[in-house]
Amino acid sequence: MSSLDISSDHHSFLLDVEGMKCGGCVHSVERTLLEQPGVLNASVNLVARTAWVDLEDKEKSIEPILKALLARGFPSRIRDTDFLKHARTSDLDSDLEWWQQWRELMVAFVLLLFSVLGHLAEGGRLQAPIIGSLTFHAGLATIALAGPGRKILISGARSAFSFTPSMDTLVGLGVSSAYLASLVALIWPQVGWPCFFNEPVMLLGFILLGRFLEERARFRTNRAIKQLAELQPNKARLLVANDLIKEVRVGALRPGERIQLLAGDRIPVDGVVLSGQSAVDVSSLTGEPLPLEAVPGTELSTGSLNLQSTLVMEVKRIGAETALARIIGLVEQAQARKAPIQGLADRVAGRFCYGVVALAIATFLFWWLIGTQIWPEVLQVSGQGLLHSHEHGLHSPLGGAAETPLGLALQLSIAVLVVACPCALGLATPTVITVASGMAARSGWLFRGGDVIEIASSLKQIVFDKTGTLTIGRPLVSGVLGASNPERMLQLAASIEQDSRHPLAHAVLQEAQRRNISLIPAVSTRTFSGKGLEGELDAFEGKIIVGTPEWLISKGFSWNADLQLALDNSALKGQSLVGVGYQEELLGFISIEDRLRPDAKLALDRLRDQGLKLSILSGDRKEAVESLGKELGFLSEQLRWQLLPSGKLAELDNLRQLGSIAMVGDGINDAPVLAAADLGIAVGTGTQIAQESADLVLLGDRLEGLPEALVLARRTMSKVRQNLAWAFGYNLVALPIAAGALLPGFGLLLSPPIAALLMAISSVTVVLNALSLRST
């Protein structure tokens, strides 16, 4: 199971981190966080621009952490715990950021247009001597650096001074080198250097274009969370005195108030139906295609859709406590937790910029001092590369030919700096994880992190619990055996089990309610995992025991052969048996039947088709497990029965020798096994403790969502591997070409503007490939 489950002694929170542009930034933010005292874990997501931080002490102030990040050039703020509210308001911040990027991009493109016009005038194709002068080009480059390029230069310099170079550092070095060398050539023409005033203008234009496209695509990767947030309406119909209706903001509602839901209304908060009957569409949250029949007592979750008639509902949970807000919070957390496969990319990205700077220096020195001596012809052919040259005096045109060794060395070293793409390395995994976790959430599957998705993609076998997992989990009492007073026996059993969440306890309570049997207040109760309950009731002396026949035998109870024969016959039918004893008297047995999930057989067949080995570990009786196993196509060696939690753990360890293993369960008994498995899977109808112990939660009653979720996990990891292959492959190919590897033999080089364009395309390609996950 994943290692990022946070114990109750720890405090975890989500930070919104600004200023991250590439994998180097991610490495810098993580290193800064982990250097802070008391920080146990930190996981940074470049796509969502968040950091999930786990503190050792709940009382520790986070101000020093925020100040440390700010000093490194990453302004941060703690995320509002109301994830639903944040998801609804984050669009405003995105719109503002896009407008700012759009404005910078337009300024850069206008400058680029003037630069092209200047070249046309310089070449005599346009009669405008002023814009063809070197002074004009120098002015354009100065405006480009002081305007759209200012933030890049400042960010790059700050990262360099803190010894955490980023993509901004590489771009800043490239454009400032070209600008300063050109400025020297303009002021002191006798040095004989070419001018590269066009390079800063073109570089910034292409880089800002790439970032704008990348940002637009990045927004689409996170669209699923915003769509979930939009399920909550803004207004609600509050019932006040005399049942008058007042329309109020959803945020103004408080627990205990009553609201009216008309046909076609979205449920604004979590609550319980007080009156009315209607069909409610819950597919937006659980993926369940069939509507829920809502009657008095039915719990409804935020975002569900009332389909038929008017309901009156009591508000139970609001804001961050609603099911929808918790789902969004889990998705946010999942996107912040990394897949292990991202570790290599992060380690490379953290040192990538150092290597690129070193390669740029080596490229400069080689071509300045050695390369042109070995291959003097490169000075004549360097303009015949990806952009052809035109001679316009000392001003080297858009990627044109270099006339001196120094000019060629400077051109190639700048190309190395700007063609490098740490962004692609940083985006390769988180973009896909973000898209996949959003898709899963909309289908009712909650992966708790990228690490969980990676484990799910490589599973070899799956173990199922029986009750509530392969069965509906809402069993019904089918009969009473050996009881001289069935009403009294049911009353005592239901009273002891009235606070239990176990499905068998619920069946007993339902039967007592059906027979209009009143319950007796419990004085004390104690649960024995896998065995039953023991407790005392008001006005009753002595202990009442409710549990399995085997447990009752161990407690000293006994019964005759005729009753044992009746018990055996019930067990052969797959019925569960619950014995009830008071003091030393056996009151009788309750036989309970659970129905098989309608989609259980289909789901298991699909899992077998995927090559997975399946088995059942159950605490139920042998006969019930064998009956179910036969119906679902299990072999006898794939079944285990009457297991306590410790026995399930032992069986799990034995099975793990055959490969990575997942456990699917829903009850309190399953929590230890879910935590011990490589992947713990809980069904949404299970207990809260089971869901909190699980890595993957399947909302609703659709077990067939499990094979679909595993298919998504495999497709996700396939996309991740494609992205990583592209990110590494691009840099391994582009960097040597930018350094002039093909110049002597083929006369080909990457001019700095084309290098910048390729870098931008590389980042956008990674994001677009992640988005293609939705259509495959």
Q: Are 2 and 452 in contact, with CB atoms under 8 Å apart?
A: yes
**What residues contact 523, with CB distance under 8 A and at least 6 apart?**
535, 536, 537, 538
**Tokens at 582, concatenated:** 């008071």
Beta bridge partners of 462: 614, 662
Cα(129)–Cα(143) distance, rounded to whole angstroms?
A: 20
Sign of CA dihedral 763, 764, 765, 766: positive
Helix (H) or strand (E) holding 275: strand 270-275
Q: Are 21 and 168 in contact, with CB atoms under 8 Å apart?
A: yes
CA 40 to chain centre: 20
In the DSSP assignment, the letter for residue 290 is S
Cα(541)–Cα(488) distance, rounded to whole angstroms?
A: 15
- Give the helix ranges, DSSP H, for 123-230: 134-146, 150-161, 167-187, 198-221, 223-229
Residue type, 50: T
Q: Are 537 and 495 in contact, with CB atoms under 8 Å apart?
A: yes
Q: Helix, strand, coil % (nearest 5) of the chain?
A: 50, 20, 30
**What residues contact 84, with CB distance under 8 A and at least 6 apart?**
229, 232, 302, 319, 320, 322, 324, 325, 328
Beta strands 461-464; 613-617: pairing state: parallel
Cα distances (Å, whole numbers) of residue 84 to 79, 229, 269 = 11, 6, 11
Catalytic residue among 346, 465, 695, 701: 465
**What residues contact 727, with CB distance under 8 A and at least 6 apart?**
345, 421, 424, 425, 427, 428, 762, 766
Task: Judge whether 95 counts as a catalytic residue.
Answer: no
Beta bridge partners of 593: 476
Cα(679)–Cα(662) distance, rounded to whole angstroms?
A: 4
Catalytic residue numbers read 465
